[in-house]
Amino acid sequence: MKTLTRLSLLCVIATAAAACAAPPGEPVQGLAVAIKAPLSDNPFDDPETAFVAMVAEGPDIPADKLQVVKPYSPNMPLTLPAVPYGYGRGMRIELYSKDVNGQPTFPVRGRGRTVPKDVRHGETFLVHAFVTKTNAFSAPFNNANQEVITDGRVGASVIAMNNEQVLIAGGADPVAGATDVHDVKSWGNFKTVPLRYDIDTRKLIDLSAAPFSTSLSQGRAFMAAARGSDGIVALTGGYTLGASGPEASKMVEYFDPKDSKIKQAVASDKPNLQFARAHHTVTRMFDNNNYFMVIGGKGPESQASRTWEIWHPEQGRLAFGELSIPRWNHATVRLPEKDGGYMMLIGGENDNGTINNFEVIRYDGSGNVAHKHNNKITCCLPSGTCASDAECNAWKSQPGYSEYKWQPLLRELNGGGRTQAAAAYVHNTTPRYNLVYIVGGFEDTQKKKPMTRVDVFNIETGKWVDSVQQLQAPRGAPIMGWSTAGAQRGQVIVTGGVDAQGKTIASGELLSYDSTSGKVMREWSSNELPNGGAVFGQAASLSTGHVFIAGGASSGDSGLKASATIRLYNPK
Amino acid sequence: MNPAHSMWSRTLAWIALVSFAFTTLVAPVSLRPIGIDFVSGQAFAQMAGKDQLAIIALARRDGVGTVATARIEEYLRAMIEAGSVVQLTPQSVVKSGRPKFVRSARATQRSNKATKNLAKADQALLAARVMIDEKKNLKTAAKLLSAAIKRYERYFVELVDFTKLVDAYARASQAQLMLGKRGSAATLLTKAVVLQPTLVTNRGQKKMHKLLTVVRGRLAKRKKGTIQVECKTPGAEVYVDGVKLGSAPAVSKDLDAGTHYVQVRHKEAEPWGKSFTVRGRRISVNARLEMMPNPKHNIHVSVQLSKIAPFAQKGGFHTRRVRNYSLMFSRQIQARYLLYAVVSKNVRGLELHMFLFDSKAKKFAALDMVPFNSNLSNMQMKILEAEGHIRRAIQAFPSKKEVVAQPAVYTKTRAAAGAPAIVRTPPPLATTTPTTRPSTTPPSTTPPSTTPPSTTAGSGTPAKKPVSPSVRPTAPTYGPATKPKTDPYAGLLKNTDQDKSIVKTWWFWTALGAVVAGGVATAVILSNQTPEPSPNFKVDARVQP
């Protein structure tokens, strides 16, 4: 009886616990996915397409764990009944053909992703997956009426924002009869109207129209643009139309995605750059801040090419200082570092010819920039005054000065000097690599010797990656972008550019790094592009894995022509 | 005791018991979603060239039900198949003991030879490049390049990146030019341009650049040709000079006069290749692929599944015999890994013990035990955990958990069944392998006893049932499995009354009444309760291209 009493007590507790802990309910709909495709080159119309797969993706969801694969039929439904709530939830849609046994087989014929969403209890999102053919350029719309950007966008800034929308700002049209892509006078009709592309809805929106009604203060092209940590896009310098033709600009404006407006650093008395600059670069400096470093470039004042400036959307121009050597038409990539502030300046040109080195400079967060200068480390105060070693030592006693132990890096480029090369920091975690791709460019400042070189620098080992790979064709000023999603992450697409005669190259090629062999390989090349070749266009990497390519001009027998189409490249 | 109090206690106890049973055993199974649709992950893994893993058998011990075992096995298979680390060997292959597709030994040998030669060619090319860039040892560089070219040309069927061959031609041409042999340089450069019309040279080398212009001019005067490739095998892919043209039939037009290389590949066939000299005409070629043989009738099955499946029931993974049989079977079905597993039971629920055999390492690894609720209500999460253990073991094989003694799960159950556990004092560390085989004590045939178990390790645990004489004595073990453990069943033997029929007891009928009342009460509670939100959400999609 004693035992029974104990048991009864235990069971009372158990019953109470069981009654309180109700069983989980049925999963409710968290994502409703509308699967779309372009009207032309629709991968669903491909007779080889036999299966559709939907795979859940997220930072904590193992790859290909949650998936459903079904034979394809029009308007078919797909359901994943239980995907864990969490951050960055997205769906990957893939199309497969069938093998001799009727099973899905590689290669993937079409792929699309939804924009990742943070899905919490009680929330339902309608998202779109835009499925386009793999290893192909597709129109980014499923509406034939929106195939074309209504005006030319040569030298436009094309930047993917945090909200997975793409900003297309500025740009120019070729002047009638112009034939020389390297002559700034070939461009006119500089644009003020910004455009915004939304991959989720596949719409291109004119931001100058209501309800946004925003524009650049002055028409500009060949600006340098970079995205800030909170999604703003800084649009710096570039060319604008002056009294005697295109001239470099000091103007800095930024696009604020919160209200979709173009703004200036109005709270500051120094909203613009100190020096007018074109052919320069701008780079965000830290992971969690909106400090931008504007580097080099060319302008009416000679200081532009040998100085850097720091700009902030609220504080305007903060500081400027000297570079080790003047540079323009160089490339700059931001390197990872927990303290931030590392930037690699690659090649470029100055009055002495093309530059045959890259230089890593660092902003230490206290207003000091260190760089290599005649084998000596110099430093600059927030006022922009730079100094020699001796003066730096003297400044050590001043408040705010911080000792920096970092040794700057200056390295000779493989293959000699190059200007107007394309460069990108391409990185991955599994397999791990941190690479800087430097592709194409010109050997000479006259832009008559385009290069086929593909040089890849491993920033972890500090060595050049061994590669026997060259570009299929010599490309000056190529357009380069890389895929940032899924298994295709790290594939680099190189298109367009110009040859020795200044003619645009109508081909594209895909490069990738094989971590096993440690070499860069060409995965694919094509002699035909749907929008022809282009130069001075730009590419932006989308979270859907696509590379968005817009703007630029093509050169033909009848002169220069603005490339009016935009394309999505879907990697292999 | 107060009779009213006693009555109240009894009623409350049984209501509670039934409610508890209902909410924890029945409801979760029926309400929780399974949630994963595993389809054709195998096809993906196969294409990715993953190692194969065969699940040999899921044995069960300690009275574990067949349904529970089958469910665990079904989900484990699905989870491994959906995973990306290994490819799950089809059950038909495991049962028959015959692999689905086997590359012939001759083809494998041929492929290995080609791979080695191409690797040597790569090395020669890289070494020669350095010499040429440094303008040193040009004759050696020319010889290296000549050897590399011969290898590339001879084994081009397996060559994927034809830019290597083009680079070798171009570099060899450059070396010949630097050695003053313009004729040879032109010939080699022509071969390079024929393969890659867009070839460019470093503009710093003016002689080379000039030669390239001359070669291009010569080629432009010659008539271009066409190669048409046909293949009856569906899914065959055609490559000309390393450039993929697509599925056969395919045509490559405007080819410069010279040697061109045609490759046809299919995932279930040996690669096919042939070189052609194009001289301004159309060449038609019909590729006949040698399919990998289906060895249904060719493979001699020396080890049947029935021979090795009992190992999952008996253990013995530390013995050479089990390792040898496993090795033979894994080679026979061409699976790198074999997975033996056993489902056992303890007081808390079920346990899945897995033992993974790696045929390369020729070793067994014991994976971490995966506990399940007795009603398998947490099966989905636990199978994920099990798949994780398998994945990690494969990635880190051989692990520290190599099986060196009979696993505890086998010794434990035997002890619970009545055999006195023979746990010998481990020898000193210096003599991990005993030089003399320790004698084993025959199993005790002591009848069932209700005596409370002794707490002394190794003195034997009172058993519920008599031990069958056929049970062999436990082998002495010195690994982790030999650690003395308290018998998890010991507590259950308390107050066991085996002589009284259950239906004759007063409390049985009280319990039955309480079950009904409790079930109704719980159902009412549950029906009025808002279910806890599911940790998962559902995704619905519709194709609207």
The answer, yes or no, to whether residue B444 has pLDDT greater than 60, is no
Provide CB contacts within 8 A for A16, sequence distance 6+.
none
More reliable by pLDDT, B429 or A537: A537
Band of residue A487 on the pLDDT scale cut at 50, 70, 90: confident
Q: CB–CB of A413/A402 below 8 Å? A: no
Residue B532 is nearest to which of A23, A69, A74, comparing CB atoms? A23
Give dist(CA A392, CA A381) in Å, integer.
9
Cβ contact, residue pair B538, A27, below 8 Å: yes
Contact between A77 and B541 using a beta-carbon 8 Å cutoff:
yes
Q: How far is B419 from chain A (nearest CA, A)?
A: 31
A380-384, A521-525, B293-297: range with highest mean pLDDT:
A521-525
Asked if A93 and B541 come within 8 Å (Cβ–Cβ), the reply is yes
The pLDDT tens digits for A119-173 are: 988 788 898 999 999 988 888 887 765 655 656 789 999 999 877 799 999 999 9
Residue in B163, B541, B544 nearest the CB of A54? B541
Q: At residue B399, does pLDDT exceed 80?
A: no
Does residue B384 or residue A569 have the better pLDDT? Answer: A569
CA pair distance B358, B365, nearest whole angstrom: 8
Q: Which of A93-102, A328-337, A397-406 has the lowest mean pLDDT?
A: A397-406
> What pLDDT does residue A444 have?
94
Inter-chain contact A8–B10, Cβ cutoff 8 Å?
yes
Q: Are the C-beta atoms of A465 and A458 separated by less than 8 Å? A: yes
Contacts of A52 in chain B (CB under 8 A): 543
Angstrom CA distances, A467 to A415, A461, B417, stand at 13, 15, 66
pLDDT exceeds cutoff 80 at B195: yes
* Alpha carbon separation from B144 to B126, B153, B275, B515 (Å, rounded): 9, 14, 23, 88
Bridge partners for B269 per DSSP: B291
**Which one of B537, B538, B540, B542 makes the best mutation probe of the A interface by having the most chain A beta carbons within 10 Å?**
B537
Q: What is the pLDDT of residues B54-77, one digit of tens each?
A: 998 788 888 888 878 888 888 788
> Please, which residues have CB within 8 angstroms of residue A430's CB and are 6 or more apart in sequence?
none
User: What is the distance between the alpha carbons of residues B367 and B355, in angstroms, rounded to a whole number?
Assistant: 6
CB-closest option in A10, A24, A522 to B535: A24
Name the pLDDT band for B151 (thresholds 50, 70, 90): very high
For residue B362, the model assigns a pLDDT of 86
The rounded distance, in Å, linking the Cα atoms of A178 and A172 is 13
- Check B542 against A75: CB less than 8 A apart: yes
pLDDT exceeds 50 at position B493: no
Query: How do residues A243-300 score in pLDDT, each as one tens digit?
Result: 888 999 999 999 999 999 999 987 667 889 989 999 999 998 876 778 899 999 999 9
Confidence category of residue B294, pLDDT binned at 50, 70, 90 = low
Q: Are A462 and A501 in contact (CB under 8 A)?
A: no
**Could you tell me where the beta strands, DSSP code E, fall in A364-460?**
369-373, 376-380, 386-387, 409-412, 422-428, 433-439, 451-458
Provide the mean pLDDT of chain A. 83
Which is more confidently placed, B118 or A371?
B118
- pLDDT for A6 equals 58
Out of B5-9, B85-89, B102-106, B246-250, least confident range: B5-9
- Choose between A362 and B463: higher pLDDT: A362
Condensed to tens digits (0 to 9), the pLDDT of residues B167-191 reads 899 889 989 988 888 899 999 999 9
| Chain centroid offset of residue B340 CA | 13
Q: Specify the range with the lowest mean pLDDT, choosing from A4-18, A47-61, B445-459.
A: B445-459
pLDDT score, position B383: 77
Amino acid at A482: W
pLDDT number for residue A374:
32
Gap between the Cα atoms of A235 and A258, Å rounded: 16
**How confident is the model at residue B158, as a pLDDT?**
84
Confidence of residue A473 (pLDDT cuts 50, 70, 90): confident
Give the residue from chain A lying closest to B246, CA to CA. Answer: A107
Mean model confidence pLDDT for chain B: 70
Question: Which residue did the predictor score with more confidence, A265 or A424?
Answer: A424
> What pLDDT sits at residue B271?
86
In tens, the pLDDT along B76-91 reads 887 776 655 678 888 8
Q: Average pLDDT for residues B300-328, to the nearest whole number?
A: 85
A95 interaction partners in chain B (CB closer than 8 Å): none
DSSP notation for B322-356:
HHHHHHHHHHHHT-SEEEEEEEEE-SSEEEEEEEE
Q: Rounded to the nearest 10 degrees, how much is the dihedral formed by the CA atoms of B23, B25, B29, B31?
A: 0
CA angle B243, A435, A543 (to 5 degrees): 80
Evaluate whether A550 touches A124 at the Cβ level (below 8 Å).
Answer: no
The whole-number average pLDDT for the span A400-406 is 43
For B251-256, what is the mean pLDDT? 87
Location of structure tokens 């009493």: A5
Q: 10 Å Cβ neighbour count for B479?
A: 18
Q: How far apart are CA B206 and CA A427, in angstroms?
A: 38
Structure tokens at A34: 């509308």
Q: A121-133, pLDDT tens digit by residue?
A: 878 889 899 999 9
**Average pLDDT value for residue range B283-301:** 71
Asked if residue B292 has pLDDT above 80, the reply is no
pLDDT at A221: 95
Q: What is the CA radius of gyration of chain B?
A: 35
Q: Which residues of B touch A84 (CB under 8 A)?
A: 535-537
ipTM for the predicted complex comes to: 0.74
Helix, strand or coil for residue B493?
helix
Q: What is the DSSP string of B355-424?
A: EEEETTTTEEEEPPPEEEETT-TTHHHHHHHHHHHHHHHHHT-S-TTB--S--HHHHHHHHHTTPPP--P
CA distance B196 to B298: 44
Inter-chain CB pairs, A–B, below 8 Å: 253
pLDDT of residue B528: 66
Q: pLDDT value at position B518?
A: 76
What are the helix and strand counts (H, E) for chain A? Answer: 2, 49
pLDDT band at B1 (very low <50, low <70, confident <90, very high): very low
Contacts of B1 in chain A (CB under 8 A): 1
Cα dihedral B463, B466, B469, B472, rounded to 10, equals -20
* Of A292-301, A308-317, B17-26, minimum mean pLDDT range: B17-26
Residues of chain B contacting A14 with CB distance shorter than 8 Å: 16-17, 19-20
Name the range with the highest mean pLDDT among A19-28, A462-471, A484-493.
A484-493
Question: What is the longest distance spanned by two Cα atoms in chain B?
Answer: 119
Whole-angstrom CA distances from B186 to B201, B210, B217, B410 are 13, 11, 12, 75
Query: Does residue B290 register a pLDDT over 90?
Result: no
d(CA A474, CA A507): 11
Contact A23 B28 (CB under 8 A): yes
Which helix H or strand E contains A95, and what residues bound it? Answer: strand A86-98
Q: Do A78 and B167 touch (CB under 8 A)?
A: no
| Contact call for residues A248 and A286 (beta carbons, < 8 A) | no
Model confidence at A2: pLDDT above 60: no
A94 closest CA partner among A44, A45, A58, A141 = A44
H or E element in which residue A96 lies: strand A86-98
Please answer whether residues B337 and B86 qualify as being in contact, where contact means their C-beta atoms are separated by less than 8 angstroms.
yes
Looking at per-residue confidence, does A370 or A316 come out higher? Answer: A316
Higher pLDDT, B520 or A268: B520
Q: Check CB contact of B44 with chain A, cutoff 8 Å.
A: yes
Find chain A residues with C-beta within 8 A of B115's C-beta.
Answer: none
Q: What is the dihedral of CA B300, B302, B304, B307, to 10 degrees?
A: 180
- Helices and strands in chain B, H and E counts: 16, 14
pLDDT tier, B473 (very low <50, low <70, confident <90, very high otherwise): very low
Token representation of residue B308: 């090795």
* Contact criterion met (CB below 8 Å) for A366 and A374: no
